Amino acid sequence: MALLQTPDSNPIDYIDEEDFIALEISHDVQGERLDKILAAALPDYSRNRLKAWVEAGAVTVDGKVTKARHLLRGGESVKVFPQEMPEQFAFEPENLPLEVVHADADILVINKPPGLVVHPAAGNWTGTLLNALLFHYPELKLLPRAGIVHRLDKDTSGLMVVARTAHAQTALVRQLQDHTVGRRYLAWVWGEAPSQGKVLATVGRDQRDRLRMAAGSAQGKSAATLFRRLAKGQFKTSQVTLLECRLETGRTHQIRVHLESLGYPLLGDQVYRKKTPSSAKELPFERQALHAYALSLQHPVSQETLTWFRLPPDDLLALLLQVGMTEEDLPKEAALMASIANDHR
C-alpha cells in the first residue's frame, strides 16, 4: 500500500498545511475492512480516532463516504481529512518569553529560539509559540491558529511573521502563496558546496518514513531553493560550508531536504543526514544548523515593503568558531540591523 500525501490549499490556513491524506489501496488487500487498513497505514492516529473520522464522513473511498466496516476490493483511492480533536481546542495561554522584533496593530515579527515548537500537536500540547502568543496578545484567540501563517521547524531559529487581524492574516497567506514573502536562511552544511546554485525538486512525504520528507517525490509539490556560499570552514578533516539560502516556495523541511539531496546535509541534523561524515559524531551540536535571518514582506495595510534581520543565536555563533569561521563571514546587513535594533531597546 502506498501512502500519498497531497496538500490542498486553504486561503486562511497554513501555506503548506496538509488538508487531507491520500491513500492508494493496493489490490493485495482485497476483502479487508477499511478501518483495519487505515489503522495499518496511519499508525500516528489511534484506531478509535480513525473510526470516528470514518463515521463522521471525513474519510472517502473513491470520493464516497462509507462505513468503517466497508470491505475494500483493492485499487481504490482513499482520502482522509484529519479532524481537530477536543484537545486541539484547549490551547491555553502560557507566560513564555517572546523576542518581538516588530509589533504594530496588524502584524508581529518574532525571533523564534531553537527548541520552541510553533503550534500544539501530539506530543507538544503546551509550551509552544501559539501558547505564548495567546498570553501576550489575548486578542489572537479570535484568529485561526492565533494568527500564525507559516512555520519554522522546532529546532530552526529565526524570524516569523504573525497576523493580528483577519485582514492581515488573509493578506499574508496570499503573499506566501504568491511567493512574494522574502525568506533568507543561514545554513551550515557538510561538504564543500559550490559558490551558488538553485535546487528545483519536488518535496513530498517520504513513502518509506512518514516522519521524513523526500526530494523528487512524484506526489510532492514543486519547490525551489536558491543558495550562495558565504564561507568555507572545516571540522576535524571534514569540509564545512556556510550558505545563504533563499526560498521561492515554503515546503515542509524544504532546505534540509534539498541540501541533503545535493549531498550537503546540515550540521547537527538528526533526520536528514545522508553523506554526513564520521567526524560529525564528535561535533557537540545536535540541532540542524539553520537560522531564518532575514524576512521581508509587504505590510498588509500600509503596503510598505518591510525587512528585518537577526543574527543567529549563541549556539550558532559558537559553531562558527568550531568550524573555523568568524562573525565576519555572516551577511553584513544582519549584523548592522541587529545593532540598530539593540540601540533602540
Active site residues: 153
As a whole number of angstroms, the distance between CA 51 and CA 37 comes to 11
For the chain, what is the radius of gyration of the CA atoms?
22
Sequence-distant (≥ 6) Cβ neighbours of residue 190 within 8 angstroms? 238, 239, 240, 264, 265, 266, 267, 275, 276, 277, 280
As a whole number of angstroms, the distance between CA 192 and CA 198 comes to 16
**Would you call 305 helix, strand, or coil by DSSP?**
strand
40 residue type, one letter: A
Residue found by looking up cell 489511534 in the block: 46
Q: Is 193 exposed, middle or buried (0-12, 13-18, 19+ CB in 10 A)?
A: buried
